[in-house]
Structure 1
Amino acid sequence: MTQRSRLRWNGDAALRSTRQGALRGLRLGSEHLLQVARGRVPIEEATLERSGVATVDEQSLTAAVSFDTPYAVTQHERLDFQHDNGREAKYLERPMVEEADVIGEIIAAQVRRSLRS
């Protein structure tokens, strides 16, 4: 007995879905990093914390998290500054390293999800 199967490959649709899932994952992953970093930003009046933003470049499939005050870099890099409990220098770098696996899983989950729909 011969059994036949037919496979219909919708490559373009699969690639579009995968890209959309990756973009959604990048947005969610960068927002996750921003949330964690905001919890560690040195805080006096919360201006630095409020300046944080997560962005995604859809063309290059890259994400960025940044803080935009004149003293953001100084606060990030100066390890000798004293901060309130739970607040620290390297407020963006450390969470980025510590949360890398979580962010990767967020992105992967969104790509998987996009392929199921």
Structure 2
Amino acid sequence: MTARARLTWNGAAALRGTRASAVRGLRLAAEHVLEVSRRRVPIEEATLERSGVASVDEEALTAGVSYDTKYAVRQHEELDYQHDAGRTAKYLEGPVTEEAGTVEAIIAAQVRRALRG
């Protein structure tokens, strides 16, 4: 007995779905880093914390987290400033480094879902 199967490969659709999943993974990963970093942002009136945003460049498949106040960079880099408990300088650099494995897992999970179809 001979079994036959016919497979039609739609590579363009598969790539579109994978790319869309990668974008979704990047967005979720950036939001994760933003949330972790918000817990460390020096806080006086919460202006710096509220200025944090996560963004994704879908064309370049890159994501970023940023804070937008006049003093965001200074607060991030000035290691001698005194902060409330749990708040610190390097409030973004630390989470980016520490959460790298989680970021990879978030993106990989989204891409795997697309490949399972």
1:80-116 CA-partner distances (Å, limit 9, x unpaired): 1111111000000000000011011000101111222
Report how many aligned residue pairs link the two structures. Answer: 117
Question: Structure 1: which amino acid aligns with 2:27?
Answer: R
Indicate whether 1:20 and 2:20 are aligned.
Answer: yes
Runs of 4+ in 1 over 3 A off after TM superposition: 1-5
Indicate whether 1:77 and 2:115 are aligned.
Answer: no
Deviates further, 6-15 or 52-61? 6-15
* Gaps in structure 2 of 5+ consecutive residues: none
Question: Structure 1: which amino acid aligns with 2:104?
Answer: G
Tell me by how many angstroms 1:76 deviates.
0.2
3-state SS of the aligned residue for 1:55? strand
Question: Structure 2: which amino acid aligns with 1:14?
Answer: A
Give the Cα–Cα distance (whole angstroms) in 2 for the partners of residues 2 and 45 of structure 1.
74
1:41-90 CA-partner distances (Å, limit 9, x unpaired): 00011000000000101111111100000000000001111111110000
TM-score, length of structure 2 as denominator length: 0.95
* Gaps in structure 1 of 5+ consecutive residues: none
